[in-house]
């Protein structure tokens, strides 16, 4: 079990974390949160070596992926950096990577009724205006859970706010900040239900953010 107390705030600089082996020798991972079972709840950074492949396998609780670099593939297509993928509960695939890739992966965390299959190329999708100078790229919403990319212009300060259902952030570029610290690219933050902060940035920063999905 790793970081499975959702009432606690967790901050991990994944860039400094060591890689750990997975059941597939050519695939390494950096676990961020994990239940006790190989097929259970997991949030990880995952690295496929060139030529890596998995046999076809199911995802009874769903799978969510953001491709960080390289090209990730399965029988539905090839997905380069910035690809956002959701495979719903009960889906099955045989993933592989011809040239290698690095992924942010969440397993077994879907609402069972969330049956949407999602494929978004965030390098070409539209940015929408957000609060202040922010730009937002919505990726998925279901039953109070919201996932998006958010682009912060240099010097942006957000209003103090609480997170109903918690908040989870992966910093993709720049440095994300709040009154508790500074979080460089590839930092992962998980803040519990009703947590509060006042985020800001000094340089342009892009984050992947999910809200409303943690238990309370």
CATH of the domain at 104: 2.60.120.10
3-state secondary structure at position 210? strand
Q: Are residues 87 and 135 in the same domain?
A: no
0.95 exceeded by pTM: yes
How many residues comprise the chain?
216
Count of domains for the chain: 2
Match 């045989």 to its residue by tokens: 94
Place of tokens 């240099």: 154
Q: Which of 71, 95, 121 is the last residue of a domain?
A: 121
pLDDT band at 216 (very low <50, low <70, confident <90, very high): confident
Out of 121, 145, 177, a domain closes at 121
Work out the pLDDT band at 44, boundaries 50, 70, 90. very high
CA 154 to chain centre: 23
**24, part of any domain:** yes
Residues 84 and 181 in one domain: no
Look at residue 1 and tell me if it is in a domain.
Answer: no
For residue 216, tell me if it sits in a domain. Answer: no
Range of the domain at 184: 128-211
Instruction: Give the number of other Cβ atoms within 10 Å of residue 132's Cβ.
Output: 11
* Whether residues 57 and 15 fall in one domain: yes
pLDDT for 4 beyond 80:
yes
For residues 115 and 189, membership in a common domain is answered with no
Q: Tell whether 112 and 161 lie within a shared domain.
A: no
- From 71, 67, 101, select the one nearest 82 (Cα to Cα): 67
DSSP letters, 92-103, are EE--EESS-EEE
pLDDT reported for residue 37: 73
Co-location of 154 and 104 in the same domain:
no
Task: Name which of 48-57, 185-194, 200-209 the model is least confident about.
Answer: 48-57
CA angle 60, 22, 119 (to 5 degrees): 45
Domain boundary among 66, 97, 121: 121
Same domain, 185 and 207: yes
């Amino acid at each position: 079990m790793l970081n499975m107390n959702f009432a606690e705030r967790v901050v991990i600089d994944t860039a400094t974390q060591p890689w750990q082996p997975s059941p597939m020798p050519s695939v390494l991972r950096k676990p961020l949160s994990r239940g006790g079972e190989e097929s259970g709840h997991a949030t990880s950074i995952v690295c496929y070596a060139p030529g890596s492949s998995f046999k076809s396998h199911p995802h009874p609780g769903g799978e969510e992926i953001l491709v960080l670099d390289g090209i990730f593939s399965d029988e539905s297509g090839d997905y380069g950096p910035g690809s956002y993928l959701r495979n719903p509960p009960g889906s099955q695939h045989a993933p592989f990577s011809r040239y290698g890739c690095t992924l942010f992966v969440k397993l077994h965390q879907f609402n069972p009724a969330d049956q949407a299959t999602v494929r978004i190329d965030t390098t070409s999708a539209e940015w929408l205006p957000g609060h202040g100078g922010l730009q937002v790229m919505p990726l998925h919403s279901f039953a109070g859970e919201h996932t998006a990319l958010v682009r912060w212009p240099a010097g942006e300060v957000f209003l103090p706010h609480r997170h109903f259902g918690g908040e989870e952030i992966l910093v993709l570029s720049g440095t994300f900040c709040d009154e508790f610290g500074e979080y460089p690219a590839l930092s992962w933050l998980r803040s519990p239900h009703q947590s509060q902060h006042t985020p800001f940035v000094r340089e342009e920063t892009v984050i992947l953010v999910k809200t409303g999905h943690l238990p309370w």
